[in-house]
Structure formats: C-alpha cells, structure tokens
Amino acid sequence: MSVEVSGGPGRAESPTPLGTGLVAAKVTREFRGRHGVVAALDGVSFPTAAGSFTTLIGPSGCGKSTLLRMFAGLDDPTTGSVAVLGDSPHKAQRDHRIGVAFQDAALLPWRTVETNIALPLQVAGRKVDPKLIADLIALTRLTGFEKARPAQLSGGMRQRVAIARALVLEPEVLLLDEPFGALDDMTRHQMNIELQRIWTERPSTTLLVTHSLTEAVFLSDEIVVMAARPGRVVDRVGIELDRPRTAEVRQSPEFHAYADDLSQKLQRATHAQEA
C-alpha cells in the first residue's frame, strides 16, 4: 500500500536537514504463543528524514512500541529490516548514537539527579564530565535539584531526568515511548513544550510513540498512522505548523483540524481492525 504525506499551509522553515533518519522496510514481527503464531507487524515500511520529529500513533496492539524497540536494537524483525542513520540499530546502539526514554523513567532510587544522568557515561566507560551534566540539568530545567533523589521529585521532573539521561551520550537519534503517558494533562502539556524546546536546542532524529493526538500534532513534523491486527501503516500526515509551537497554537483552527483529521483516520483504522 502506498501512502502520501498530507499536510497544510503555514509551516515555517524546517530545521530538518537532508538525508534519511530511520527506515523500516517491509517489517514483519511474529510472536509464537500458546495459541499459535500472532502477527504483530505486517509489511511496515516508511522512512523518516534525518533531524525530523516523527510520531507513531495507532490503536493499542498495532505494534508501535514493538517497532520503536526495533529501532532501539532491543528487538528484531521476523522479516524485513530497520535502519538507523544508514546503520543497523545494533551498530548504532554500540556506537552510542541512540538515546531512549520510556514511560517509566526507571531512575535508580539511590542515585541523585546528577548521578542518574551520568549513568550511561559510566556504563559506556566514558569520563563523567561535570560541565556536560550541569548543561543537561540546565537544559531540562532541573537546576537546584542536582542532589535530589527520585522520591523527592514530581512525575514530570523524573521524566525530565530520564530525557537528560537519554541525551547524555549526545545521541543523534532519540526514541521516546509514551514518556508522558502517566502524567496529568496540565503537566503533560507543559512537558510537550519543554520537549519541543529541548529538541530545538539539541537537534536529533526523534521518534515518539504516543496515544495522544494533540501531543502528536504539537510535537511532530510527520505522523505515521498505524492500524492493528496485524500492525501496518495506513497513512502519513505532515504537520505544517510554525515552530516554536505555543500553548496558543493548541487553540488554533489549524491545530484542531489536524487533530480532527487524525481522529477520523484512527477511527477508520480501528473499524478496519474490528471488521
């Protein structure tokens, strides 16, 4: 199935450079269980542009997180292939070109903000650079909480630590699996603004998995719409809204038009799944 990127007027100059970022090519993923083989993904293909912000949306069970884990080198296709900046995900991971953050911040409770952020450097056998840690703490607006432990932080602050930790090896690719899914709406909206600012100041090829349509529209250059059982790509939507996007942008007719269009696409994908 071939799909075209759809969009609208009004986009400002894009920070996206030329080149290919992430590529899925005819990816299938099958899992064998008690009731036989289950196809989680079937023929998923799409590229993203290097330096762009792409979001995967779709109903539960469509394989969004499975696909993200493949780009992270944490899972492999049954058939087909995925590539990260022209390399295999496993090589990109070994070369520390990938940063990952999940819904669970997974901070070590006995470590401080500083030492949680520094952990990937220590695992990689690199010298811990206090200035780099301080810069990331400032970037994620955690100044003043350097010595705090996770139990002393709010949910949003813990996610900012997780994002800083994902950035500490200065990766070219950032993979985010529902990083704000457990937050209340107000905190989530604020974290969307923070993530946009961080992405602008520290450009990277980014892939986000989310169930929130407004989050997807607010953050993305392009949204990949998936249907389930088995997971497959049914549409790709380019978001042509000026950056930086503000809280006021969320109230604009253009923003709501994108969200409504995506809602209809998801409803069609879900009904196709149930048919």
Q: What is the per-residue pLDDT across 222-253, written as a single tens digit (0 to 9) for each? A: 999 999 889 999 999 999 999 999 989 999 99
Which amino acid appears at position 66 of this protein?
T
d(CA 141, CA 187): 14
Question: What six digits make up the tokens of 140?
Answer: 């994620």
CB within 8 Å of 167: residues ≥ 6 apart: 99, 136, 139, 174, 198, 202, 204
Q: What confidence score (pLDDT) does residue 117 get? A: 98
CA 177 to chain centre: 6
pLDDT of residue 4: 39
Six token digits for residue 209: 């998995």
Residue 244, preceding bond cis, omega within 30 degrees? yes
Give Cα 136 distance to the centre of its chain. Answer: 19
Single-letter residue type at 244: P
Instruction: Per-residue pLDDT tens, the chain, 275 aa: give them.
Output: 333 344 433 333 333 345 899 999 999 999 887 778 889 999 999 999 999 999 999 998 899 999 999 999 999 999 999 999 999 999 999 999 999 999 999 999 999 999 999 999 999 999 999 999 999 999 999 999 999 999 999 999 999 999 999 999 999 999 999 999 989 999 999 999 999 999 999 999 999 999 999 999 999 999 999 998 899 999 999 999 999 999 899 999 999 999 999 999 998 877 765 55
Residues 237, 123: Cα–Cα separation, whole Å: 38
pLDDT of residue 229: 85
Task: Give the pLDDT score at 274.
Answer: 59
Q: How far apart are CA 163 and CA 25, in angstroms?
A: 28
How far is residue 238's CA from residue 7's CA, in Å, rounded to a whole number? Answer: 5
Residue found under tokens 């080198």: 73
Give dist(CA 170, CA 161) in Å, integer.
15
Closest CA to 207 of 91, 90, 98, 81: 98
Going by C-alpha positions, the residue among 81, 9, 24 that lies closest to residue 54 is 24
Instruction: Report the percent of the chain where pLDDT is more than 90.
Output: 82
Residue burial 86-110, b: 16+ Cβ < 10 Å; e: rest? eeebeebbeebbbbbbbbebebeee
**Domain range 18-97+171-274, its CATH number among 3.40.50.150, 3.10.580.10, 3.20.20.70, 3.40.50.300:** 3.40.50.300
What separation, in Å, do the N-terminal and C-terminal C-alpha atoms of the chain show? 19
Cα(132)–Cα(207) distance, rounded to whole angstroms? 24
Alpha carbon of 235 to those of 28, 183, 199: distances in Å? 18, 28, 25
